């Protein structure tokens, strides 16, 4: 049974993970020639700089209320100016991929710690790293869904012809409503949950 303590644990890990996710975007952009995120003070772990009303408050609470099988969210997107990137098209694809890669790094680190923890470690320590692994698997999979403004859409946009890309990117203004609709209807569950179970089993339980 999920307790209030478990939910609190998950929310804290979710918030920490989405912050690292956004900082990774900012550092990727900086390495590719765009200092916008650094100039905006977003290359920091200060949570106040990354709070997003929808992604860090409304969506997680909505998922808790509907008893969704997983918890996801996002921080305020870091500003990126594609025209400052040395190769805007390729650069935006790499910047978009940097966030999920940060989550994958947290997944692998958590799984490694779980496999090396002594059996005498307190149970809450095992729970902490299991939650970190589980939440970051969900975040990586969720953000790779090709619905603007999720990161998967940045990769897809980079391979589309210009006219199709403009129309596709234009969906971003409706993105939050599309995402909530897909979550509410359970359509994302059909993709994310089976993949999550396979990955979590392989890394943690196998």
pLDDT digit string, tens, across residues 132-141: 999 999 999 9
CA distance 126 to 91: 38
For 69-80, the pLDDT digits (tens) are 777 778 898 999
CA distance 179 to 149: 10
For 85-142, the pLDDT digits (tens) are 999 999 999 999 999 999 999 999 999 999 999 989 998 899 999 999 999 999 999 9
**Residue 147 DSSP SS3:** coil
**Which pTM value belongs to this model?**
0.89
Among the listed residues 22, 30, 78, 156, the single catalytic one is 22
Please report which helix (H) or strand (E) contains residue 76, including its range: none
User: For all residues of the chain together, what is the average pLDDT?
Assistant: 90
Instruction: Give me the percent of the chain exceeding a pLDDT of 90.
Output: 64
Residue 1: pLDDT band (50, 70, 90) is: low
Q: What are phi and psi of 92, to 5 degrees?
A: -65, -35
Total domains in the fold of the chain:
1
Q: Where in the sequence is the domain holding 128, given as residue range(s)?
A: 4-205
Burial of 162 from C-beta contacts in 10 A (0-12 / 13-18 / 19+): exposed
Tell me whether residue 22 is one of the annotated catalytic residues: yes
CA distance 142 to 114: 23
Q: Residues 6 or more apart from 128 whose CB is under 8 A from it?
A: 9, 13
Mean pLDDT of 25-44: 97
If we measure between CA atoms, which residue out of 40, 43, 60 comes closest to residue 52? 60
Q: Is the pLDDT of residue 3 over 90?
A: no
Q: In the 8-state DSSP scheme, what is residue 40? A: T
């Amino acid at each position: 049974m999920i307790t209030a303590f478990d939910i609190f644990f998950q929310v804290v890990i979710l918030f920490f993970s989405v912050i690292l996710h956004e900082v990774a975007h900012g550092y990727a952009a900086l390495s590719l020639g765009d200092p916008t995120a650094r100039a905006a003070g977003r290359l920091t772990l200060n949570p106040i700089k990354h709070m997003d009303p929808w992604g860090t408050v409304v969506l997680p609470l909505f998922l808790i209320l509907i008893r969704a099988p997983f918890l996801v969210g996002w921080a305020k997107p870091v500003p990126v100016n594609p025209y400052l990137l040395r190769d805007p098209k390729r650069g935006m694809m790499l910047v978009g991929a940097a966030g999920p890669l940060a989550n994958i790094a947290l997944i692998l680190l958590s799984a490694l710690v779980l496999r090396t923890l002594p059996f005498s470690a307190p149970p809450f320590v095992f729970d902490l790293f299991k939650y970190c692994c589980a939440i970051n698997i969900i975040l990586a999979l969720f953000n790779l869904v090709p619905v603007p403004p999720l990161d998967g859409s940045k990769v897809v946009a980079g391979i589309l012809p210009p006219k199709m890309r403009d129309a596709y990117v234009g969906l971003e203004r409706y993105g939050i409503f599309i995402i909530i609709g897909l979550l509410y209807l359970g359509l994302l569950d059909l993709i994310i949950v089976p993949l999550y179970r396979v990955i979590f089993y392989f890394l943690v339980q196998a």
